[in-house]
Amino acid sequence: MNHTDDIENSLDGIRRAEASPYLTAKVLSRLQATAKQLTSPRWVYITASCLILLLALNLVLLIKAEKRGPHHNDAELMARQLGLDNDNPVSYH
């Protein structure tokens, strides 16, 4: 027998693992207990209102940015003030 045959035959005595009935019952009972728990309507309303506020803030900032125009970018303004201008003649806009 060579080394390859030893490796192939090393799996011959392996049996399927079996869980104890106690473990199965415990897992099933926890699954049923968590299925009964519902989220409080108060938390649903709080989460929904936070998401709506976040969306409204994003829309306000987006509308403000569109009104200012494409060349009024705060990052570009700061880069110019710090002397970090791009001297490359290629325009990225």
Number of folded domains in the chain? Answer: 1
Please report, as a single letter, which amino acid is at residue 2.
Answer: N
Please report, as a single letter, which amino acid is at residue 7.
Answer: I
**Per the domain annotation, does 71 fall within a domain?**
yes
**Per the domain annotation, does 52 fall within a domain?**
yes
73-87 pLDDT, tens digit per residue, is 677 777 778 877 766
In the prediction, which pLDDT does 69 show? 67
> Greater confidence, 28 or 5?
28
Residue 71 predicted with pLDDT over 70: no
**Per the domain annotation, does 56 fall within a domain?**
yes
Whole-structure pTM over 0.85, yes or no?
A: no
**Per the domain annotation, does 33 fall within a domain?**
no
**Per the domain annotation, does 92 fall within a domain?**
no
- Domain containing 58: what range? 39-83
In the prediction, which pLDDT does 51 show? 98
**Per the domain annotation, does 2 fall within a domain?**
no
Contact by Cβ (8 Å): 68, 74: no
**Per the domain annotation, does 77 fall within a domain?**
yes
In the prediction, which pLDDT does 46 show? 96
**Per the domain annotation, does 17 fall within a domain?**
no
